[in-house]
Amino acid sequence: MGIRDIHTPVLLERCVELLGPALEHDGAVYVDGTLGMGGHSEAFLERFPGIRLVGLDRDPDALRIAGERLARFADRTTLVHTVYDGIRAALDSAGFPRADGILYDLGVSSLQLDEAERGFAYAQDAPLDMRMDPTGGMTAADVIATYGEGDLRRIFERYGEEKLAGRYARAIIAARAEAPIERSGRLVDILQDATPSALKNAGHPAKRVFQALRIEVNGELAALERAIPAALASLAVGGRMVVLSYQSLEDRFVKRLFAEAVKSKAPAGLPMEMPEHAAEFRLLVRGAELASDAEAESNPRAKPVRLRAIERVRDVP
């Protein structure tokens, strides 16, 4: 089975439709801020023969696979090992002052989910790792072993929106006093045992806790808060950005930052807006777009996606 059989890019045609108008000229710079296995980038390189790709990913395995997949476009690609908030430095290293199209496909990648030993999936027993970049940094097992009850509760509430955060934090503290919690299977058992019987059918008890641990381990929301402003600042006039989010916390961040970007800079009370105060960006879609029923059925990972898109219409004076 080839890479194209196991990896279906989410909302590919809509991404092409939205970013395409900014990429039609020769020399246009397309940034894939979350390269993954290169599915989106492959399609853009095929359909826009004049573009140059700058692909970012923190996962060395993803960069290797994407590099192999995109080998025939090597003369038009620059792949960079970095977190997605490193977009400005990546553009500088590639010699490009601005980007014409930017895509962020957030969340955990197909590669990470499908490799059980990475510990992202609660349905498979594996070491509690969850690092998107396995070359360094703390693991989920480190978080479980060292965080106090209050900190565990905080991340479960904030990053997992888990209503049983306190109960789960206490259960983890009690269980680790007996033996280290180093595998996903044992953590799942602890969470299931701590879940009241009346709530056992209200979704898998580990889903939100695993999400919270992943976000904490990888500093995802902090990186996103830096990445979106850096990406907006890197867009050329007429440049466009699309962001695909898969959980409500990410989407709320993007919604807020986009809303701030499209505001007029005019001081309150002015009778009319001066040209220098006009908004620098405009939204390309109203609200957040969802995958069609057909795509969600054929590609289950598209079910939770929320798409937002924005365009730079004026440069900074």
pLDDT tier, 128 (very low <50, low <70, confident <90, very high otherwise): very high
Strand 99-105 versus strand 52-57 pairing type? unpaired
Q: Is 40 known to sit in a ligand binding site?
A: yes
The tens digit of pLDDT for each residue in 21-43 reads: 999 999 999 999 999 999 999 99
Query: What pLDDT shows up at residue 1?
Result: 39
pLDDT average, residue stretch 79-106: 96
- Residue range(s) in the chain whose domain bears CATH number 1.10.150.170: 117-218
d(CA 116, CA 122): 9
Burial of 261 per CB tally in 10 Å (0-12, 13-18, 19+): buried
Q: What's the CATH superfamily of 117-218?
A: Putative methyltransferase TM0872, insert domain (1.10.150.170)
Q: Looking at the predicted structure, is the pLDDT value of residue 115 above 60?
A: no
Strands 235-245 and 306-312: antiparallel
Q: If you average pLDDT over residues 308-314, what whole number do you get?
A: 97
Q: What's the Cα-to-Cα distance from 28 to each of 54, 79, 303, rounded to whole Å?
A: 11, 16, 31
- In the predicted structure, residue 108 carries a pLDDT above the cut 70: no
38 annotated ligand-binding residue: yes
- What is the pLDDT, as a whole number, of residue 288? 96
Q: Which of 110-114, 117-121, 174-178 shows the highest mean pLDDT?
A: 174-178
Name the phi and psi angles at 254, rounded to 5.
-65, -45
Pinpoint the residues of the chain covered by CATH 3.40.50.150: 3-111+220-312
247 is in an annotated binding site: no
Q: How far apart are CA 302 and CA 200, in angstroms?
A: 26
Which CATH code for domain 3-111+220-312?
Answer: 3.40.50.150
Q: For residue range 283-310, what is the model confidence (pLDDT) as tens digits?
A: 999 999 999 999 999 998 899 999 999 9
